Structure 1
Amino acid sequence: MYARATNIRFPPNMKAEVVKVAQGLAVVLKKQRGFTDLQVLTDAKAGEGIIVSLWETEADAEAGEADPSYIGQMSMMSSFLYDPLDPKTYEVSVRT
């Protein structure tokens, strides 16, 4: 299993927008081959968060980003983030 993790920084008053776009992202990802789960962690006071998606294979994790619907959702989110998105792929070493 593999995870794609993306750290995000946003204006603290934009948490609702982050959550709304993440909910749309979940709908898109559920249609992708190999997708298993999405977690979006936020700290509104700090204006920070982490988006973690879980995938069956590394290839599935990286291929999911090529989908036009995924690109659209991430573009919407990027419009109110402080930094460019820089997702990284990790092998899941422990899962319960």
Structure 2
Amino acid sequence: MTPADVAENLMPKSDYDKEETCFNRLIGALKAAMEESIKKAEEEARAKAEKEEKEKQQSIKEEKDKEQSAKQDKDDETLAKEVKENGLAAKQVQENGVIH
């Protein structure tokens, strides 16, 4: 709450407003501002937690993809080695493009 907000709440709105009415209005405005501030902080904390969770899930997914890619590369290398060592299979691959 700004100083101008405080002054506005303390100023009488009519000739019949008493000091107590103005102070009560200020107290109400301060409580409302505090509740709004708390609500905003909670929303920001929730948004931050959601963002961190999404980043964590993305990181886990990327790690799994990387592991799967490494496994596929290893399997491909093993297959290539087997084909190289086995002349018959290599000949079939050259002729048919398929290993039986």
- What is the TM-score with the length of structure 2 in the denominator? 0.23
> In terms of Rg, which structure is larger?
2
Greater share of helix: 2
Greater share of strand: 1
Point out which structure has higher relative CO (alpha carbons under 8 A, 6+ apart): 1
